[in-house]
Amino acid sequence: MSFINKALEKAKALHHQKVKPTPSPSQAPPQTPLPDLDEVTGFSETPGEIHYAYTRKVAVDMDSLRRQRLIVAGSDESFGEAYKLLRTHILHSTKREGRNTLMFTGPLPNEGKTLTTINLAIAISQRVGQSVLLVDGDLRNPSMHRYLDLPPGPGLFDYLTSGYPIAESLVHPGGLANLVVLPAGKSTPQSVELLSSPLMVDLVRELKHFYPDRYVLFDLPPLVYADALAFAPLVDGIILVVEAGSTPREEITRALALLKAFPVLGCVLNKIDPIDLSYDYYYKHYPDRNSQKKFKLPWFK
């Protein structure tokens, strides 16, 4: 039984415990209807915004999020605009074909993939009627909870190792409408085995098809580990995050070669010098084979 069905069965059991039989239907008070499946799993949609009736809501410090360079209210507008343009490119590349499960990785550690994943998730969730499930799949070095100012708690690791209910691990950060987070939980050196396990395969498939109009973004370790390669067959698209002025060209080439059998959507050039920013900050770039120029563009294929 899937985690969604288990959550529904639990809600039904609680409902039947609360409803007492009455001798006469004509005198029975109106019964509260069973929770909608959206409520059980955390989503209850109304035009323009997703409300959360089941998912645990956690208050977050917006000042802390701004210090972490997240694109929340009051953060740098040009920074937020850059992510909106990146969002537009990715939605154009994926939405029509129903490619809603996306993985983020990078050639090397510390290139900003987690921050990029979170900010893109926030940007997508800001579209009217669009929601995002953000999954911390970096079981080696979980950090998403720190960026989002979330308290420690169970997450993906607990589901994959002990069957802890996914629905009870989901967190909605207060103030970030239409965004739900599945934290990693504990770190583990056995992350490759867990991420390629049948349980993980079934989970990704269920997340994709149960809410086909919602994006599921996975943050994975860099390609110096085997995790991202093991996970790549499960997703609809892959985005490579590289660091401006730091990631060597040969490392980018190596990473793209490793992922050549999988649907790489493109690369994001992160930590670019602000003086290079302009109105066309994000756009696709198809390098000329004869050109000797270095990659300077934040979004290229």
Q: Where are the domains of the chain?
A: 39-300
CATH dotted code for 39-300 = 3.40.50.300
Q: Which helix (H) or strand (E) holds 300?
A: strand 299-300
pLDDT value of residue 212: 73
Whole-angstrom CA distances from 15 to 19, 40, 114 are 6, 12, 39
State the pLDDT at residue 54. Answer: 63
| pLDDT number for residue 136 | 98
The sheet that has 56-58: what strands, in order across it? 56-58, 171-173, 179-182, 132-136, 215-219, 101-105, 237-243, 264-270, 299-300
Q: Supply the pLDDT for residue 301.
A: 52
Ranges of residues in the chain with a pLDDT under 50 are 8, 11-52, 275, 277-297
Nearest C-alpha neighbor of 76 from the set 88, 65, 89, 87: 65
- For residues 291 and 266, give the distance between their C-alpha atoms in angstroms, rounded to a whole number: 19
pLDDT digits (tens, 9 = 90+) for 64-82: 999 999 998 888 888 889 8
Q: If you ran DSSP here, which 8-state letter would residue 281 be given?
A: -
Is pTM beyond 0.85? Reply is no
Tell me the per-residue pLDDT of 87-102, one tens digit each, with 9 for 90 and over: 999 999 999 999 999 9
pLDDT at 2: 54
In order of 120, 211, 232, 255, 258, the CA distances from 108 in angstroms are 20, 32, 17, 9, 13
